[in-house]
Copies of this chain bind each other. A is one copy, B any other.
Amino acid sequence: MAAKRGPADPGRRERIMAATQRLLLEEGIGGLSHRAVAREAGVPLGSTTYYFETLDDLLDGATRRLTEQYAHWLHEWGAGLGDPSPAELVEHLADLVETQLAGSRAELVLSFELMSAAMRRPELRPAAVLYAETEREVIAAHTDPHTARALVLVLDGILLQSLAARTPPSREEITAPLAALLTPEG
């Protein structure tokens, strides 16, 4: 029963998954289709339905991988932070925002797309919630839990509005609300 038979092309499945992630980042959830994935992966249409029976399997798998990759990246970012003062943490967080807005725009857009999609599709919730959860963990390593939660809310708000806006925020528009939480006296 469990005997292994037939030709194994383990790279195939992986290539399809990777193509799905690429497609999601480029076109968003709405751009996902068996046909588009097959085109992007360079495999026949039948392959995508063979390895991933339904389109949701494809979406779930790709979003889980993408969010886990992001979580890993963010943890590493937090680990390289040392032991900053509140004022320094403000600057580090502002750097983070600017870095992401400049270099990870597609990932950010997808994360918010995922959040709003999760509001109508409960099966996407776990992946959507993982973003904020990870941010909270990483920041909580450098401040108290309450402040960490508030900081995450502010960060999400900044990113959300910056992505929807026509122009990127100034440095001061980023640091001011963060400083209001971390260095309220000055």
**Residues on A facing B (Cβ under 8 Å):** 28, 30, 109, 112-113, 115-116, 118-120, 122, 125, 128-129, 132, 146-147, 149-150, 152-158, 160-161, 163-166, 173, 176-177, 180-181, 184
Instruction: From B119, B173, B177, give the contact of A163 (CB < 8 A).
Output: B119
Closest Cβ neighbor of A177 among chain B residues: B150
Chain B residues with Cβ below 8 Å from A157 are 152-157, 160
Q: Is the Cβ of A119 less than 8 Å from the Cβ of B109?
A: yes
Nearest CB of B to A25, in Å: 12
Closest Cβ neighbor of A155 among chain B residues: B157
CA A125 to CA B155, docked complex, whole Å: 20
Chain B residues with Cβ below 8 Å from A156 are 156-157, 160-161
Closest Cβ neighbor of A176 among chain B residues: B146
Q: Is the Cβ of A164 less than 8 Å from the Cβ of B119?
A: yes
Q: Is the Cβ of B119 less than 8 Å from the Cβ of A116?
A: no
Among A30, A147, A150, A176, the most chain B Cβ lie within 10 Å of the Cβ of A150
CA A175 to CA B138, docked complex, whole Å: 22
Instruction: From B109, B128, B163, B173, give the contact of A164 (CB < 8 A).
Output: B128
Q: Is the Cβ of B113 less than 8 Å from the Cβ of A164?
A: no
Nearest CB of B to A33, in Å: 13
Do A115 and B164 contact each other (CB < 8 Å), given the known contacts A153-B158, A157-B153? yes
CA A132 to CA B162, docked complex, whole Å: 11
CA A41 to CA B132, docked complex, whole Å: 40
Nearest CB of B to A121, in Å: 10
CA A150 to CA B183, docked complex, whole Å: 14
Chain B residues with Cβ below 8 Å from A166 are 122, 125
Closest Cβ neighbor of A156 among chain B residues: B157
Instruction: From B154, B163, B184, give the contact of A153 (CB < 8 A).
Output: B154
